Amino acid sequence: MGNIIYLDNSSTTKPCEKAVENINIALEKLWGNPSSLHLLGVQAEIPVTEARESVAKLLSCRADEVYFTSCGTESNNTAVFGVCSSRKKRGNRIVTTAIEHPSVLEAFRKMENEGFEVIYLKPDKNGVVSAADIENAVNSSTILVSIMLVNNETGAIQPIKAAADAIKKSGAPALLHCDAVQGFGKMPINVNSLGVDLLSVSGHKIHGPKGIGALYMKKGVTLPSLLVGGGQEKGMRSGTESVPLIMGLAGAIDELGNINDNLKKAKDLWLYAKDKLIATGLVAINSSREALPYILNISVEGYRSEPLLHFLESKGIYVSSGSACAKGEGSYVLKEMGLSSHLVDSALRLSFSRFTEKAEIDALCEALTQATQRLRRVK
């Protein structure tokens, strides 16, 4: 592939050099089974232990509270199904938002079909659920609250601490889970300040490999596992650990640099992009100023997302219409925010990484202008 402009980093990111290097080392040299008692096993176990410490450092938790999984989806499923099955005798209400990633939303729908009372909190026009709504939703029979840290379509940051406070205030026997896949490695995360019991992360959104995730489980919390077998990950997640992917994730974390410095650069780029896009006179901004500045959701009113996306692709610019998982359907997240169907149908999600440059934004604006000259306008 020649020079491309990749503005779809919330779908996935290009693995960074250290991730690739680590994966190769694992495949070529550290291919032992970390559970083996002999030297090859011990050699493979060391980088797994180190990677666990790296993840723990990013979450401000203990290494023994980090469990490796195969992806963010598995972490989310483990949390939702695990809490529901282990606490169902203590209450029947579970609370989430209407704008969660499908790996949480579908898990809740499944639980709803099994008889749980589910509250789906709605966001305001900025894409944020309110602390007051959370507090109203949590009652004494609530056993689980699951709210994402950063929405994957708009970047809207959700009030996780308010959910922790609501649980405490109500005296509910609820655990708090947070899907932090879009915030991990991009903003400071402290599980204790957030007040969460469970938190999900994924490797491939931070220039690590696909197929590796982790679940933070607060010490003392126990859940049934989805997979049973050899008892790896202290019985939470059987299956031989993927040393290459775990080392790849550790490589990506190593290469992150300073999260706050990256965040400052991202904010500068986000503001630049917003102003430049507004100046084209073609674009409405759907993300709020308070959003995590790695995601900028826009609408090019009068033009449908998919032809726009393909026009940009023909110019070597890669963006997304809604999330990668929405595949052409109008975004339920934007609909929940109350956006008109015109805005929903013409939405594009731009998502940046620490490697995104202003010149790439200039090229995007140029290409969008061309797109509106070449594509057919819809009413």
Instruction: Pick the closer one to ligand PLP by CB: 134 or 326.
Output: 326
**DSSP assignment of 291-328, as one string?**
S-TTEEEEE-TTS-HHHHHHHHHHTTEE-BSS-TTTTT
CA distance linking residue 8 with residue 319, whole number of Å? 5
At 144 the three-state DSSP class reads strand
Instruction: Pick the closer one to ligand PLP by CB: 142 or 151.
Output: 151
The dihedral built from the CA positions of residue 33, 37, 41 and 45, taken in this order, carries a sign that is positive
Rounded to the nearest whole angstrom, what is the least distance from the CB of residue 182 to ligand PLP in the complex? 5
Instruction: Pick the closer one to ligand PLP by CB: 96 or 152.
Output: 152
Rounded to the nearest whole angstrom, what is the least distance from the CB of residue 376 to ligand PLP in the complex? 31
Instruction: Pick the closer one to ligand PLP by CB: 73 or 154.
Output: 73
Phi (first) and psi of residue 43, to 5 degrees: -65, -35
Instruction: Pick the closer one to ligand PLP by CB: 149 or 172.
Output: 149
The dihedral built from the CA positions of residue 336, 111, 71 and 69, taken in this order, carries a sign that is positive
Rounded to the nearest whole angstrom, what is the least distance from the CB of residue 195 to ligand PLP in the complex? 19
What's the gap between Cα 358 and its chain centre? 24
Helices (H), 176-330: 191-194, 243-255, 259-279, 305-314
Tokens of 96: 């989430």
Task: Determine the residue type at 228.
Answer: V
Task: Determine the residue type at 275.
Answer: D
What residue ranges bind ligand PLP (CB under 6 A)? 71-73, 76, 101, 103, 148, 152, 179, 181-182, 202, 204, 213
Tokens of 294: 């790695």
CA distance linking residue 61 with residue 172, whole number of Å? 24
Rounded to the nearest whole angstrom, what is the least distance from the CB of residue 36 to ligand PLP in the complex? 28
Per the annotation, the verdict on 325 as an active-site residue is: yes
Instruction: Pick the closer one to ligand PLP by CB: 76 or 232.
Output: 76
Rounded to the nearest whole angstrom, what is the least distance from the CB of residue 103 to ligand PLP in the complex? 5
Q: Which residue is nearest to ligand PLP (CB)?
A: 72
CA distance linking residue 352 with residue 207, whole number of Å? 12
Cα distances (angstroms) measured from residue 15 to each of 53, 54, 154: 20, 17, 23
Burial string for 183-208 (b: 16+ CB within 10 Å, else e) reads bbbbbebebeebbbbbbbbbbbbbbb
The vertex-239 CA angle with 233 and 244, nearest 5°, equals 85
Rounded to the nearest whole angstrom, what is the least distance from the CB of residue 349 to ligand PLP in the complex? 11
Instruction: Pick the closer one to ligand PLP by CB: 91 or 213.
Output: 213
Catalytic residue list: 325
